C-alpha cells in the first residue's frame, strides 16, 4: 500500500534493506565502480516514495542523483533547448504518447540491456532497433470507466466500444480528447477497429457527450457522482486516491459511482505507462543504464508503482494495494498491444479527432 514519507523511512528496516541488497546482486549494481559519479535526472514524477527510492539507489551505488522536476511538456522543451549541452542522463515521463513524441524528436538514446529485456515485457517498451531500445515502462495504470448505477447499467459500459452506443446519448463525460491519456486509449481502440470503424466510434463518442470535454480525470469522476454525467473515462490511480482519501466528500463520491475495467471478455483493459529513457546527449550512459536497471528491480518497482497507486511492470512483481483491490485492480486482464505500435497512430488519431469535432 502507499505510505506517507515519514512512515516509509521508518519502514526501511533491515529486512527491506536485505531485499534491496538482493536486488543489487540480481541487477548487477556495483558500488565499487560508481563512487563520486552524479546522475542528472529530469523527472515529471513528483512523489515522496520516488525520493526514498532515489536515496537507496545512491546508498547502493554511490551515484548521487541531481533532479530537475517539471511536467512532461516542460522537460521535453528543456531537452530540445539545451541540445548537446544538456546535462540530462535519464528522463522520466508519465505517458506512452509523450514518450513516443519525445522519442520521435530524437531526444532519447537507444540502449541495450539484457536485464531490462528479461524484466520488462516487450509490449511495455519502445520497439527494438539494431541500436537498442529507446524507452521502457516501469509502472502502468489502467484507463477505466466510471458510471452512475442509477442511470447506467454495468452491461452497457463493459467495453470502450459501447461508449459510442446511442443509448448513452447525453451521458458521456471526458477530459480533452487530445490529452495524451485519451490519445493513447483512442489510438489503441482504432488500431483494433481500423480507420473507418474507428472514425465512426469517435463520432459516436462526440454524439454522446453530456457537455464539452473539460477538466482532468478526477473532475470526470466527480461529475458522474454529482449527476452531471452518467459515465466517464479516468485513469485507475485517480480512483484509488479517492478511495484512500480521508475527506468525507471524497468518500461520498466513491459511494455514488461504480468502476468497470473494460473489455475483459475481449482484448483487455487499456494500460498506459510511466517510463524512462536515457537522454540522447547523456555524458554518463553507464550510470544511466544502471539506474534504469535499478528501476526494474523488485525493491524499486514497489516504490515506483505504489507511489502513485499504479501497477509494476517487471515480471513476477506484485503489489498489495488495498485501494486498487477495492476497485478490482488486483485481478484484471490488461491489453497487451505493444504501446510502440499505438504510438505510431497518434498523429492520425489527432486528425480523426479533429474530423469528429472532439475538443
Known binding residues for Fe cation: 46, 237-238
* Mean pLDDT, range 60-70, rounded to an integer: 96
| Domain housing 197 | 141-269+334-356
Q: What is the pLDDT of residue 22?
A: 43
Give the global pTM. 0.87
Q: Are residues 288 and 157 in the same domain?
A: no
CA 266 to chain centre: 22
Q: Are residues 161 and 306 in the same domain?
A: no
How far apart are the C-alpha atoms of 122 and 116, rounded to whole Å?
10
How far apart are the C-alpha atoms of 146 and 258, rounded to whole Å?
6
How far apart are the C-alpha atoms of 336 and 309, rounded to whole Å?
20
Q: Are residues 129 and 154 in the same domain?
A: no
Q: Are residues 151 and 283 in the same domain?
A: no
Q: Report in angstroms the alpha-carbon separations of 237 from 9, 13, 20.
A: 23, 27, 26
Contact (Cβ atoms closer than 8 angstroms) between residue 209 and residue 359: no
What is the distance between the terminal CA atoms of the chain, rounded to a whole angstrom?
A: 36
CA 259 to chain centre: 19
The reply to whether 329 falls in a domain is no
What's the burial of 196, exposed, middle or buried (CB within 10 Å: 0-12/13-18/19+)? Answer: exposed
CA neighbours closer than 13 Å in the CB half-sphere of residue 221: 28
Q: What is the pLDDT of residue 102?
A: 94
Q: What is the pLDDT of residue 319?
A: 79
**Confidence check: pLDDT of 59 > 80:** yes
**Which element (helix H / strand E) includes 327?**
none
Q: Could you tell me what percent of the chain has a pLDDT over 70? A: 90
3-state secondary structure of 102: helix
Joined together, the cell numbers standing for residue 133 give 531500445
Joined together, the cell numbers standing for residue 194 give 481500423
Phi, psi of 5 (to 5 degrees): -55, -50
E-state strands within 64-177:
64-69, 90-93, 108-109, 135-147, 172-173
Q: Are residues 238 and 284 in the same domain?
A: no
Q: What is the pLDDT of residue 320?
A: 81
The reply to whether 72 falls in a domain is yes
Known binding residues: 46, 237-238
Contact (Cβ atoms closer than 8 angstroms) between residue 299 and residue 25: no
Q: Are residues 76 and 159 in the same domain?
A: no
Which residues lie across from 172 on neighbouring strands?
209, 231
The reply to whether 328 falls in a domain is no
Using one digit for the tens of pLDDT, what is the confidence trace for 7-50? 443 443 343 444 444 444 444 555 545 445 899 999 999 888 89
Q: Are residues 110 and 42 in the same domain?
A: yes
The number of distinct structural domains making up the chain is 2
CA dihedral 297, 298, 300, 302 (to 10 degrees): 160
Q: What is the pLDDT of residue 34?
A: 47
**Which element (helix H / strand E) includes 234?**
strand 231-235
Using one digit for the tens of pLDDT, what is the confidence trace for 203-227? 999 999 999 999 999 999 999 999 9
**Which element (helix H / strand E) includes 271?**
strand 271-279
Q: What is the CATH number of the domain that holds 224?
A: 3.40.190.10
Q: Are residues 113 and 187 in the same domain?
A: no
Amino acid at each position: 500500500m502507499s505510505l506517507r514519507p515519514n512512515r516509509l523511512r521508518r519502514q526501511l528496516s533491515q529486512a527491506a534493506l536485505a531485499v534491496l541488497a538482493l536486488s543489487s546482486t540480481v541487477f548487477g549494481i556495483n558500488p565499487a565502480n560508481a563512487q563520486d559519479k552524479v546522475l542528472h535526472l529530469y523527472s515529471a514524477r513528483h512523489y515522496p516514495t520516488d525520493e526514498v527510492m532515489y536515496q537507496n539507489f545512491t546508498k547502493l551505488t554511490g551515484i548521487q542523483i541531481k533532479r530537475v522536476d517539471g511536467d512532461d511538456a516542460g522537460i521535453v522543451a528543456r531537452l530540445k533547448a539545451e541540445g548537446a549541452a544538456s546535462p540530462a542522463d535519464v528522463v522520466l515521463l508519465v505517458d506512452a504518447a509523450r514518450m513516443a513524441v519525445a522519442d520521435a524528436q530524437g531526444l532519447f538514446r537507444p540502449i541495450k540491456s539484457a536485464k531490462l529485456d528479461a524484466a520488462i515485457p516487450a509490449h511495455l517498451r519502445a520497439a527494438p532497433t539494431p541500436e537498442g531500445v529507446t524507452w521502457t515502462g516501469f509502472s502502468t495504470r489502467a484507463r477505466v470507466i466510471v458510471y452512475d448505477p442509477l442511470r447506467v447499467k454495468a452491461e452497457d459500459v463493459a467495453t470502450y466500444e459501447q461508449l459510442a452506443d446511442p443509448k448513452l446519448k447525453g451521458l458521456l463525460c471526458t477530459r480533452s480528447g487530445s490529452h495524451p491519456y485519451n490519445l493513447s486509449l483512442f489510438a489503441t481502440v482504432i488500431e483494433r477497429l481500423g480507420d473507418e470503424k474507428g472514425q465512426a466510434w469517435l463520432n459516436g463518442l462526440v454524439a454522446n457527450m453530456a457537455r464539452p470535454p473539460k477538466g482532468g480525470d478526477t473532475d470526470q469522476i466527480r461529475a458522474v457522482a454529482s449527476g452531471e454525467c452518467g459515465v466517464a473515462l479516468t485513469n485507475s490511480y485517480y480512483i484509488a486516491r479517492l478511495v484512500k482519501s480521508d475527506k468525507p466528500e471524497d468518500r461520498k463520491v466513491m459511494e455514488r459511482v461504480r468502476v468497470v475495467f473494460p473489455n475483459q471478455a475481449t482484448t483487455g483493459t487499456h494500460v498506459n505507462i510511466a517510463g524512462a529513457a536515457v537522454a540522447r546527449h547523456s555524458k554518463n550512459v553507464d550510470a544511466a543504464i544502471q539506474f534504469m536497471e535499478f528501476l526494474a528491480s523488485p525493491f524499486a518497482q514497489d516504490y515506483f508503482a505504489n507511489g502513485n497507486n499504479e501497477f509494476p511492470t517487471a515480471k513476477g512483481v506484485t503489489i498489495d494495494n488495498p485501494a486498487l483491490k477495492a476497485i478490482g485492480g488486483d485481478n484484471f486482464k490488461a491489453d497487451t498491444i505493444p504501446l510502440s505500435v499505438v504510438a505510431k497512430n497518434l498523429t492520425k488519431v489527432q486528425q480523426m479527432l479533429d474530423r469528429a469535432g472532439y475538443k
